[in-house]
């Protein structure tokens, strides 16, 4: 006996995929807005100045439960705060803008995953563990789910170059 399975029965309708794409677009815009917000918040706090940046990083070195090797990396950043602080500012603002507009979403979301993961590790023991873990994992989901292909510049690029892995 042969059974015909319709798309409605299997749950693979275009509507379900559209709903998933819309959901990823909302998460993408939210994570992007978070980065832009944090940029302006840190700018207002003076954390992109060498002294402000070094002070924050030195606090993490003293108070966090990060592995010793990671504390050594943070110490290197604190010792070179004149260079690291503006690099962090540019990184946060760039990641935010690119995620909000949905441009190069896959690589940008993967960089956001790594970046937020490093911040999460830096804050171990100083903040609520889920505070950064949720955006870390959401960023990974954005990279895997091709979140820029809906309501983003990547959607237009994907129409022109559909086989590209960048969007």
Burial (CB count <10 Å: 0-12, 13-18, 19+), residue 36: middle
| pLDDT value of position 156 | 92
68 pLDDT band, cuts 50/70/90, is: very high
Q: What is the mean pLDDT of the chain?
A: 91
- Which pTM does this prediction carry? 0.86
| pLDDT value of position 6 | 47
139 pLDDT band, cuts 50/70/90, is: very high
Mean pLDDT of 106-117: 97
Tell me 148's DSSP state: G
Percentage of the chain modeled with pLDDT above 90? 77
120 pLDDT band, cuts 50/70/90, is: very high
84-91 long-range Cβ contacts below 8 angstroms, 24+ apart: 84/53, 84/57, 85/47, 85/48, 85/49, 85/50, 85/52, 85/53, 86/48, 88/48, 88/53, 89/39, 89/42, 89/43, 89/48, 91/115
């Amino acid at each position: 006996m042969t059974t015909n399975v319709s798309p409605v029965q299997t749950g693979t309708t275009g509507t379900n995929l559209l709903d998933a794409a819309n959901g990823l677009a909302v998460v993408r815009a939210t994570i992007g807005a978070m980065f832009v917000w944090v940029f302006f918040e840190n700018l207002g706090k003076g954390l992109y100045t060498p002294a402000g940046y070094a002070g924050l990083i030195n606090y993490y070195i003293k108070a966090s439960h990060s592995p010793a090797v990671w504390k050594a990396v943070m110490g290197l950043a604190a010792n070179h705060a004149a260079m690291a602080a503006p690099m962090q500012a540019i990184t946060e603002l760039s990641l935010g803008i690119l995620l909000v507009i949905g441009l190069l979403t896959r690589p940008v979301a993967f960089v956001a995953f790594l970046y937020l993961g490093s911040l999460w590790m830096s804050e171990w023991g100083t903040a609520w563990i889920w505070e950064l873990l949720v955006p870390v994992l959401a960023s990974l989901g954005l990279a895997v789910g091709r979140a820029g292909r809906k309501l983003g510049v990547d959607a237009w690029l994907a129409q022109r170059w559909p086989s590209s892995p960048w969007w």
